[in-house]
Structure 1
Amino acid sequence: MDVWLFYAMLAIYVMSLFLLYSADGQDFGQLENKTLHTIMGFVLLWGIAKTPPQILSNFAPPLYLLAVLLLLGVHFFGITVNGSTRWLNLGVARIQPSEIMKIALPMMVAWYFQKHELGLRWYHYFCALLLIMVPGALILKQPDLGTATLIMASGLFVVFFAGLPWKAIFAAIIGFAALLPLVWLYGMHDYQRTRVLTLFDPTKDRLGAGYHILQSMTAIGSGGVWGKGWLGGSQTHLDYIPESTTDFIFAVYGEEFGLIGNLLLLAVYTFILSRGLYITLRAPTLYSRTLAGAITMTLFCYVFVNMGMVSGILPVVGVPLPLVSYGGTATLSIMVMIAMLMGIGNMRKR
């Protein structure tokens, strides 16, 4: 395994244990589950990191098809929590299929481009966009705009690293900007528009739509430079921070460990992302290069979006902080992505 990535993951995991214990009211329940999920993740990581990426690429089409079928299963048989239907009960466990698609989509698009590597034409990029839009539409139906956007972005990163012409990129940006009014009027739910408007002035609805942002910003600001200390967060332990173990766990971290702690966590994430870009640069094949680049940029997006929404610079969306937030499927999916990065790094060594 890539020891640098391994130690960086291990550092975040150890920190997350202390953080979860504090955020969960000094209870060991979620702590034990997090440890179990992480042990399972390290077993998967060890096996996947030792498997050549070209062998894993053969599993891309069936994994993508399975993820699409699971998303369809969510549509018909899913479990609804807080107004969103995102989970599927398999009897022995409850899973979130969108987390599986987080892995399957970039693998599938990278496999598709590798298959047509010697003769890429404009219609290949169009077919890749169709592969991206199918799961995106299914996740939007749940509804989960944040996850759908980030998962579709993971596929678009593959398209970018595959060599999409800059003219096409600029044309797509201009076209998307032109469609924004229609998306705002007809493509978004009322609560999604409310979240965007709340971002500009959360004080308009302090106890409603603006509550999450105001409480998380208060917690981060009250941490100051050095923080209030582990188990010393008043906002956390008085239950003012919503979803304190999942989406808003960064607010707990900022309150207890302050600016210095935030900078240390950012440094570890920056190291992981830099290592991922280094592996991307040295990847020997189109499949490995596009997949490594997409994985790295996807990790960046998840970190940026989570910290951005908790800090009040982005709308609130249901995006966990990688390797820190509680959640079995999310933890396993992130570790599998990093394992594939390790495997791609090993290709160069071999």
Structure 2
Amino acid sequence: MTATATSKKIKAGILGASGYTGAEAMRLLLRHPSVELTLLTADRKAGQSVEEVYPHLGGYGLPDMVSVEDADWNSVDVVFCGLPHGTTQEIIATLPKTVKVVDMSADFRLRDPKTYAEWYGGEHTALDLQKEAVYGLTELYRDQVRDARLVACPGCYPTATLIALLPLVEAGLVDPLDLVIDAKSGVSGAGRGLKQNTLFCEAGEGLSPYAVASHRHAPEIEQEVAKFAGLAAADVRVNFVPHLVPMSRGELVTCHVRLSERKTAADLRSEFENRYQGEPFVRVLSAGAIPQTQMVRGSNNCVIGVFEDRIPGRALVIAAIDNLVKGSSGQAIQNMNLMFGLEETAGLEQAPLFP
């Protein structure tokens, strides 16, 4: 398959199609003008139709779900991988080299295998692939994504956080060693599996921090902040606390930053406006406008707001995304578009859904 947009459709597979990210990838790809879904795997749901697993996606002629063992890799040009960490690297290592991979799991995000082993509880078993993987934060790694065979899409929290911080860190406008990130996500971010803390009676009508000072997305954020600041990853530590919000989808991060000497919140806004000018999915809000998850629901958009802090020398950067779209499946499709030489916005043009 050549990396050009032709009348021949790209054949795509989704591994882990029964999860929320898999469902969102199906929803978006159904309306992609250049993609045909030819393979859906879901081991626990193998043999079931899409309509049985996700009734809202019934009637579109999608293939039934099969086990990974029964997958026909010759039927796909690209796979979107929404499998659990650990499982992903084992399966991707067996794929034909002709198949491109857009990974939505955590297996290839961390460049240091020791860091991966520390945070994910096991040694990385596909180190050659790890060296090949490109970090898929599209707006900051666009050129590398275009030439990649394997793209590791960022986690949802790092996506919002790094869009909000990396331009500032790279420009030397904020102190990379003094970053406090207050993050909140809808319950879909915890996955579709049965967990007590995501039951309606447990998560509804309440707000809960979790994985305090121990969330796996922290080293991913630190890795990228260090790279853009020109520092060693071991020298960067961020204060990152995620919270579970009783809503299905949506994510908002409030980043507390220390300004560099003689810099102001206006300088941060100016940097964002210059850096993200022309970006199809990133919008810097006008002064005083506050980002809300309602602004991005169901879309691949990210909105950013910048505010002076009451504490001299500090500022607040707030970003909102839909965790299932820009934070996962939408960004994955954005990367796939680049990998195949398509319009970057293809299949992602839908406006946010409100209310």
One fold, TM greater than 0.5?
Answer: no
Q: Which has the higher contact order (CA 8 A, sep 6+)?
A: 1
Greater percentage in strand? 2
Q: More helix per residue: 1 or 2?
A: 1
TM band (smaller chain) = under 0.3
